[in-house]
């Protein structure tokens, strides 16, 4: 991947990383280079996906999404969904801010079957 590409998408990825505490830009780049994550580049947006394999099924997870909302949802998301189908994924999900719910509910996404609860053990 070119330096020019990374200069374009680094700020987008960094903007999404503000809302989580598990990864930094270097760890995300490492996952992409190791082919453990997939990079989807738009004109003004970026999506990073991962396929989670379980004993019974595979699921595609949208791990990072940042940039222009219309481009992300109307142009890029359908391509990601189609790719996930070809990869034999049973479902696709998104991890992100709660505000994504408002956008994705209209696209057929629903609330997860399980709640993710977290307790801060260091600062808590």
Q: Based on C-alpha coordinates, what's the Rg of the chain?
A: 15
Q: Is residue 121 part of a domain?
A: no
Task: Tell me, yes or no, whether 116 lies in a domain.
Answer: no
Q: What CATH number corresponds to the domain at position 97? A: 3.40.630.30
Residue 75 lies in a domain: yes
| Residues lower than pLDDT 50 in the chain | none
> Residue 44's domain spans which residues?
3-107
- Tens digit of each residue's pLDDT (9 = 90 or more) over 61-94: 999 999 999 999 999 999 999 999 999 999 998 8
Whether residue 122 is contained in a domain is answered as no
| 83 is a domain residue | yes
Q: Rounded to two decimals, what is the model's pTM?
A: 0.84
**Cα angle at 59 between 57 and 62, to 5 degrees?**
175
Residue from 104, 115, 102, 97 nearest 81 by CA: 104
Residue 40 falls inside a structural domain: yes
Q: Is residue 31 part of a domain?
A: yes
Sign of CA dihedral 30, 24, 8, 86: positive
Distances (CA, A) of 87 to 49, 60, 82, 84: 12, 9, 9, 5
Residue 83, both tokens: 């790719």
Report the number of distinct structural domains present in the chain.
1
Residue 64 covered by a domain: yes
């Amino acid at each position: 991947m070119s330096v020019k590409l990374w200069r374009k998408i680094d700020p987008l990825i960094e903007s999404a990383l503000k809302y989580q505490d598990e990864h930094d830009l270097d760890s995300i780049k490492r996952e992409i280079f190791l082919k453990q994550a997939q990079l989807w580049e738009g004109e003004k947006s970026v999506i990073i996906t991962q396929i989670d394999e379980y004993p019974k099924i595979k699921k595609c997870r949208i791990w990072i999404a940042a940039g222009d909302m219309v481009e992300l949802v109307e142009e890029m998301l359908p391509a990601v969904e189609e790719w996930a189908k070809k990869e034999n994924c049973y479902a696709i999900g998104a991890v992100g801010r709660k505000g994504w719910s408002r956008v994705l509910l209209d696209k057929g996404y629903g609330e997860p079957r399980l709640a993710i609860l977290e307790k801060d053990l260091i600062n808590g």
